[in-house]
Amino acid sequence: MNSNDHPDLTAFALGELDAEHSEAMAQWIAENPSARAEADATTTLGERLRHTAPPANLRLHPQQRAALLNGPQRVRQLVAAASQGSKRRPSTLRVIVTSIGRMAAAAALIIGGFLAGTHFANRNAPAIASTKPAPPEATKTKAPSSEAPVAPFRAKEITSPALAEAAPAPAPVVVAKSKPAPAPKAATPAPVTVAFAPPSTLQEPAKSAMPKTRILNHAFVSTSKATLSHATLLPAETRFVSPKSEALSAAAKLPATVKTIEPAPRTKQPELRIHSWKAEVASCPWNEAHRLVRLTLQIPSEQESPNTRYPLQVSFDPNYVRSFRQLSQRTIAASAADAPAFHILWFEFQPNGQAINATREAKMIGSVTIPNALFTTPAAGPFDSTRLQIVDRGTAWTAAREDFLFETAVAGFGLLLKGENHSPALNHSLVLKLAQHAAIDDDRTGERAKFIKLVEDARQMAGL
Amino acid sequence: MPAPSPSSESDALVREAMGLYESQLIAYAANILAGDIERARDVVQDTFLRLFQADPTRVRENLKAWLYTVCRNRALDVLRKDHRLDLGDEDKILSFTDHRPDPSQSSDTSELYDRAWTLLEQLSKNQQEVIRLKFHHDCSYKDIARITGLSMGNVGFLMHVGLKKLRTLLTEELSEHSN
């Protein structure tokens, strides 16, 4: 912030400084033409805002006015009666009926839970076998093959880096296993065995810990079946890494090993500090019937608890969204020690019914929730820092911001590389068109030009 | 001559407050409630009802700030009940350095300034609020601080950043207009 970019200069221009400060500021800007120009611009804008302020000519309804102006005594009586009424004790009959209802609901839940658990356990017997207790030593984490004949992942696959790298990875690798505690004496927390694999194989925490509605393989999920999409944010991935420390950490990389750690005592999860967050919605360039959502979180690179994985839940309103899928999720680490980092999620969704267009009223189509989020800057009033609404204003992709367009091109290229579940309209030409449209003005780092070259090369190599 | 009873004093104060601030408060509440005028009317009626119950001698001194504070809190209560409360803090993402000429330096911008209140919608909620209170409801920084519960420094900062961003948005409109 330079000297011309200071709240006091704005306060001076709006006549909000006290006499002493105002005099000092007047002397200073008399010697500083650029500051004077800044103050004049602010004053002009303020005057125009006052001049063009929308007229306030709405009144209360006649009956509302009459209630206030003609019947103040009656109003007081009503207010008093209302406050007394709210303190009235509920009737005995109501208490009994409510209690019976609660007991019935509890019984239904218990029976339903038991039946569902029995059914689920029978259907997934082989998978359960793979989670049988195993000794903490690395060489013993491999379950006997007779006990787990169809276990999807074997401990051996993640204890050897060579195997982990060479093996095809059609599905996420399970990197953590916890000892189940079927015996009653397991009330004492058992040690947790964690296998540390190279970063390329580390994808997610334990598979069993992930929500069932997690989106995989970019498939669309109907909101009649699931309205939530779950993601996580790990602040350690957003940290600025200087070239020197990066070299040191690369040299210190160790092959995958298995360690035994004691479970930490349960404590309250620390807060995730965020500078700001934003949700943008625009039409989908490769499918006219679909729309795209970009969620951007700007966070400080240094967090109180960098190794805590924070849940990030995206909920879609079935009234406006028929189905959705997560296209990508990425973290952009801070470019300097004091610079912010970004966490970005992309979704594609199919609107329920006719798509919202720009001439219609904006609609709230969903929300994003991070339970422990806290803004780094003070907010006005008791606004909720843990929940962000996703509002669709009917914006067309042609009217979207350039960075939105460019990232749309990147997300589209990602879909092309995966080669599945995308519209025929999505091709290299469309990706290039989007990227080139966005790269006209703002390509300070040259990244956009590199991406365009990459896509052109890919198209040429594919013979298209 | 007997001293005026508290109730007659309250009645007079409510009449005075309605005469001065009824429309302004409805506009203010409607902004918080995303343009829902009927709910805004209910909120303002409730605000005046609370004025009946308040101590006139204590309220009269800061009548305007008191009314706006109560009105704001009631409107936020309504939003909370509807689960519609959010903070779109987009400052950091949208902010960028702009070296194009300021719209105030252009002679062909009088029409453009009329768009300023529309462009205000693109600012964060808290910036919109302080700018509306300042230029639509003619509140001082001190009043705004009382109404919103912010410190004077925070009000000044939000006003500064909000007006700068508004100028940037106007500049963008101007460049599009000239193209």
Cβ neighbours of B152 (radius 10 Å): 15
Place of tokens 């019937």: A289
Whether the CB-CB separation of B128 and B58 falls below 8 Å is answered with no
Is the pLDDT confidence value at B165 over 50?
yes
Cα–Cα distance between A190 and A209 in angstroms, integer?
Answer: 17
Here the CATH number for the domain that contains residue B130 is 1.10.10.10
**SS3 state of residue A199:** helix
State which residue of chain B sits closest to A42, comparing Cα positions.
B163
Please indicate, yes or no, whether residues B17 and B74 belong to a single structural domain of this protein: yes
Chain A residues within an 8 Å CB radius of B126 = 379-381, 383
**SS3 state of residue A52:** coil
Chain A residues within an 8 Å CB radius of B41 = 58, 60-61, 64
For chain A, 464 residues long, give each residue's pLDDT as a single digit of tens: 456 788 999 999 999 988 888 889 998 888 888 888 888 888 888 888 888 888 777 888 887 888 787 655 656 665 565 555 444 455 566 667 777 777 777 777 777 766 666 555 444 443 333 333 334 443 333 333 333 333 333 333 333 333 333 333 333 333 333 343 343 343 334 333 333 333 333 333 333 333 333 334 467 777 777 777 777 777 777 766 655 554 444 444 444 444 444 445 555 667 787 777 788 899 999 888 889 999 888 888 777 777 788 888 888 888 888 888 888 888 888 777 777 788 889 999 988 876 555 445 678 888 888 877 776 665 433 345 677 778 888 888 888 888 888 888 888 888 888 776 667 788 888 888 888 877 666 666 778 888 888 998 888 887 77
Cα–Cα distance between A409 and A437 in angstroms, integer?
Answer: 10
Give domain status of residue B1, yes or no: no
Please indicate, yes or no, whether residues B174 and B95 belong to a single structural domain of this protein: yes
Cα–Cα distance between B68 and A417 in angstroms, integer?
Answer: 56
Please indicate, yes or no, whether residues B125 and B72 belong to a single structural domain of this protein: no
Please indicate, yes or no, whether residues B49 and B122 belong to a single structural domain of this protein: no
Please indicate, yes or no, whether residues B11 and B60 belong to a single structural domain of this protein: yes
User: Residue A162 CA to chain centroid, in angstroms?
Assistant: 34
Of the candidates A329, A354, A90, the residue with the CA atom closest to the CA atom of residue A231: A329
Please indicate, yes or no, whether residues B13 and B36 belong to a single structural domain of this protein: yes
Q: Which of B82, B105, B128 is the C-terminal boundary of a domain?
A: B82
ipTM of the complex: 0.78
pLDDT value of position A460:
83
Sheet holding A176-177, edge to edge: A176-177, A192-196, A257-261
- Look at phi and psi of residue A419 and say left if phi exceeds 0, alpha if psi is from -120 to 50, else beta: left
Domain boundaries, given as residue ranges, for chain A? 7-42, 218-243+269-400, 401-464
pLDDT value of position A311:
83
Question: Do B93 and A383 count as a contact with CB atoms less than 8 A apart?
Answer: no
Question: Do A64 and B45 count as a contact with CB atoms less than 8 A apart?
Answer: yes
State which residue of chain B sits closest to A276, comparing Cα positions.
B89
Q: Which domain holds residue B14?
A: 6-82
- Closest Cα of chain A to B88: distance in Å? 7
Please indicate, yes or no, whether residues B47 and B67 belong to a single structural domain of this protein: yes
Question: Do B126 and A380 count as a contact with CB atoms less than 8 A apart?
Answer: yes
Whether the CB-CB separation of A334 and A284 falls below 8 Å is answered with no
Cα–Cα distance between A301 and A297 in angstroms, integer?
Answer: 12
Q: Which of B35, B57, B82 is the C-terminal boundary of a domain?
A: B82
Residue A463 DSSP code? T
Whether the CB-CB separation of B43 and B74 falls below 8 Å is answered with yes
Of the candidates B120, B12, B123, B24, the residue with the CA atom closest to the CA atom of residue B59: B12
Q: Which of B31, B56, B82 is the C-terminal boundary of a domain?
A: B82
A184–chain B Cβ distance below 8 A for any pair: no
- Closest Cα of chain B to A153: distance in Å? 42
Q: Could you report the per-residue pLDDT of B82-98, keeping only the tens digit for each?
A: 765 554 444 443 443 33
How many structural domains compose chain B?
Answer: 2
State which residue of chain B sits closest to A382, comparing Cα positions.
B76
Please indicate, yes or no, whether residues B70 and B101 belong to a single structural domain of this protein: no
Whether the CB-CB separation of A396 and A437 falls below 8 Å is answered with no
Chain A residues within an 8 Å CB radius of B86 = 367, 383-384, 387-389
